[in-house]
Structure 1
Amino acid sequence: MRAFNVILTVILFQLNSLCANPIQGLFDPNCFVAKSECPNENVTFWLYTNATANTPVQLDPLNLQKSDFPVPRPVKILIHGYTGHRDFAPNTFIRPVLLQHEDVYVISPDYGPLVREPCYASAVQNLPLAARCLGQLINNLVEQGIVENEDLHVIGFSLGAQVAGQTANYVKKKLLRITGLDPAKPLFITAGNDRKLSKDDADFVDVIHTDVLGRGMMHPMGHVDFYPNFGYIQPGCEVEAEPGSCNHERAPRFYAESINPRQEFWSTRCSNWLYFILNICGVDSNDGMMGYHIDRR
């Protein structure tokens, strides 16, 4: 009986710690699964540059204007997660730093109506639509010669990381790089690779895990997976009222900091999970840099 009580307590704690409770909203009449038609009124795309940081241009995937992309530059696509929108994480952390330090275009998809609280279960069902519409935009940008495929970098946070992975199902050319920032876990643990981020989705997939005991996936998903602070105890979060939410959000915050070339996050390679758990991976070695400037070789 004691063991049962302990297990039950852990399970209840995990459910209570998850803002993205997959059960919540199942019978809410305001939750819906949208029709899979692109373009879609529930999925919009916003272009940011240094000149339009406060006045973004809304892109029409079927009527793209080369004048909105006057000079060739890399394109960073930032995808929000559950309950989010284009001015929500990771955009609020990463977009201003990108525009400050890099000469890039930033596209922020907004599929907020599809991922409203408390509709997590229907939000997961709506991800293929968001991915399909993003794939349509990417295909048109590349086919019309507005953007080179090798200049595209897709960055997704939480559910947005799973959207990034699903986008690979709809692009005609394989993406060069996808970055997953604490990819969402609820309803994805047993999902196939076509439904969640995996290393098959781009030539290079890097993932940062910061809340593996709560909202984020634990197992490796990319070519390189980083687990700062063991992936679950992030500095400053232990004093927060909702430490899980704080841990989860640390992934885009870390990534934003890594864009500044003076900020380096060095990591140590670990050969297996046992060594990782026992913290015997060789803490004195610098095997790779986490974040924006990662060495992809």
Structure 2
Amino acid sequence: MTTITTTTTTLLSLLAGVCFIRANPLLGLVDPACFVASSGECPNQNVTFWLYSNATRDAPIQLNPVDLNPWDFQPPRPLKILIHGYTGHRDFAPNNHIRPALLDNVDVYVISIDYAPLVRYPCYVQAVRNLPLVSKCLAQLINNLLERGIVQHELVHIIGFSLGGQVAGQTSNYLKRKPKRITGLDPAKPLFILSSESRRLDASDAEFVDVIHTDTLGRGMMRPMGHVDFYPNFGPLQPGCLEENPNDPGSCNHERAPRFYAESINSTLGFWGRQCSSWLIYLFGLCSTRAAQALMGYQVSENMTGNYFLKAGSAPPYAMGKPEEPDNSKYVAKFRLSAKHNEIEHDYEPELSDPIPELEDNDVDTDELEKQLIWQEALDEPLF
């Protein structure tokens, strides 16, 4: 089953990547505006960092990675680092969704990266080739913050959307210490399907990696990438996206990841997923209804591992809360009879089997039963 699942996932993901490329055959290869950064040095004029807090949210501070002012980070607070994706900038997703939600609800500092000149449309191939530079410059900033004691290691959380999710993974290659947490919001798939782990986000990149997949058959990765992976609405098509963006529902699917995450910061219902071994098992409805549940998003438990599937709404608020646990009164208890006396062992505890839907939907007329079953004390000798 594992081999079939992995092979199917790879084929579907590869097909989606090919479709993405065919949608724009040249991908900027002949566009003079597209370029690979000639200088790999950091700091770099094409990669800038902007510090936001409640006091500076309307007038952010541009940081110099090699000349940091410790007073900009006083008093000490957790640090959230937001990384945009292809065609983005510091006011584009995930920043426009997550940054205000953080500043409105949590006492934190937020750094928004802007590397827009390196990821312009239609320069996707060049954009992917520019990511190591972005990652190197981000790592320079984080290393300096930690070495100077301006920010504590356990307070750093990197959040990357689309190509930004892959930047987060690559940044780990240049850090002197693995980050505490990385969140991948629908990490980009095209040109990353067959990449080595050093070029894409994976669970080894941070002490805890959580990933939200919302466009698994399009721009986003289908394969599990973190310690815990969430698949809202299974992942390939988000409710409401055909109506919201009929010309390009994939963009809507893709951007649902930062939207869900932003809502999770202060949601009273929460995005609760139920564990299942793989998307293929989920697709065929074979997941246990009694498997563990986990909260997706900002408040995810760092003790959780595995793949979780959940339902989310078609419009805000997207969270649908925690699914009800099955009613055990509708389950059938299986008893183990002793081989000697055909009786229930005195120390045996009943085991709950899977639910039988017919017991929920149909009444049974006892007059139609041909025989009545009566429990009696066991005989001295077994019946068979």
Q: 2:119 is matched with which residue: 115, 139, 151?
A: 115
Distance 1:12 1:219, change over 3 A: closer
CA distance in 1 between counterparts of 2:23 and 2:67 reads 36
Give RMSD over aligned pairs. 2.0
1:30 is aligned to 2:36: no
1:275 is aligned to 2:281: yes
Given that 2:17 and 2:190 are in contact with CA atoms closer than 8 Å, whether structure 1 keeps it comes out as no
Write the deviation string for residues 86-127 of structure 1: whole angstroms up to 9, x where unpaired: 000000000000001100000001000000001000000000
| Structure 2 residue identity aligned to 1:72 | P
CA distance in 1 between counterparts of 2:47 and 2:122 reads 19
Partner SS, residue 180 of structure 2: strand
Of residues 239-248 and 184-193 in structure 1, the stretch that sits farther from structure 2 once superposed is 239-248
CA distance in 1 between counterparts of 2:86 and 2:25 reads 11
For 1:4, the equivalent position in structure 2 comes to none
| Structure 2 residue identity aligned to 1:276 | Y
| Displacement of 1:73 | 0.5
1:80 is aligned to 2:84: yes
Partner SS, residue 194 of structure 1: helix
CA distance in 1 between counterparts of 2:84 and 2:216 reads 19
Given that 2:16 and 2:218 are in contact with CA atoms closer than 8 Å, whether structure 1 keeps it comes out as no
| Displacement of 1:67 | 1.0
| Displacement of 1:271 | 1.7
Counterparts of 1:10-21 in structure 2, within 5 Å, are: 21=24
1:68 is aligned to 2:83: no
CA distance in 2 between counterparts of 1:168 and 1:259 reads 25
For 2:98, the equivalent position in structure 1 comes to 94
CA distance in 2 between counterparts of 1:75 and 1:113 reads 25
1:52 is aligned to 2:52: no
1:141 is aligned to 2:145: yes
Distance 1:157 1:21, change over 3 A: farther
| Structure 1 unmatched runs, 5+ | 1-10
CA distance in 2 between counterparts of 1:289 and 1:203 reads 18
Partner SS, residue 233 of structure 2: helix
Given that 1:33 and 1:123 are in contact with CA atoms closer than 8 Å, whether structure 2 keeps it comes out as yes
Counterparts of 1:1-297 in structure 2, within 5 Å, are: 21=24, 23-34=26-37, 35-239=39-243, 240-283=246-289, 287-297=293-303
Between structure 1 and structure 2, the one with the greater Rg is 2
Q: How many residue pairs end up in the alignment?
A: 288
Given that 1:21 and 1:120 are in contact with CA atoms closer than 8 Å, whether structure 2 keeps it comes out as no
CA distance in 1 between counterparts of 2:75 and 2:24 reads 44
Given that 2:97 and 2:262 are in contact with CA atoms closer than 8 Å, whether structure 1 keeps it comes out as yes
Given that 1:25 and 1:119 are in contact with CA atoms closer than 8 Å, whether structure 2 keeps it comes out as yes
Partner SS, residue 108 of structure 1: strand
Distance 1:194 1:135, change over 3 A: same
For 1:3, the equivalent position in structure 2 comes to none
For 2:376, the equivalent position in structure 1 comes to none
Distance 1:246 1:173, change over 3 A: same
Distance 1:69 1:20, change over 3 A: farther
| Displacement of 1:273 | 3.8
| Displacement of 1:277 | 1.7
| Structure 2 unmatched runs, 5+ | 1-13, 304-384
Given that 2:16 and 2:217 are in contact with CA atoms closer than 8 Å, whether structure 1 keeps it comes out as no
| Structure 1 residue identity aligned to 2:33 | N
CA distance in 1 between counterparts of 2:277 and 2:178 reads 29
| Displacement of 1:241 | 2.1
| Displacement of 1:19 | 10
| Structure 2 residue identity aligned to 1:210 | T
For 1:5, the equivalent position in structure 2 comes to none
Structure of higher RCO (CA pairs closer than 8 Å, 6+ residues apart): 1
TM normalised by structure 2 equals 0.72
For 1:7, the equivalent position in structure 2 comes to none
Given that 1:45 and 1:107 are in contact with CA atoms closer than 8 Å, whether structure 2 keeps it comes out as yes
CA distance in 2 between counterparts of 1:292 and 1:104 reads 13
Percent of aligned positions with the same letter in both sequences?
64
Partner SS, residue 208 of structure 2: strand
| Displacement of 1:24 | 1.2
Distance 1:271 1:16, change over 3 A: closer
CA distance in 2 between counterparts of 1:259 and 1:242 reads 28
CA distance in 2 between counterparts of 1:77 and 1:20 reads 32
CA distance in 2 between counterparts of 1:263 and 1:57 reads 35
| Displacement of 1:274 | 3.1
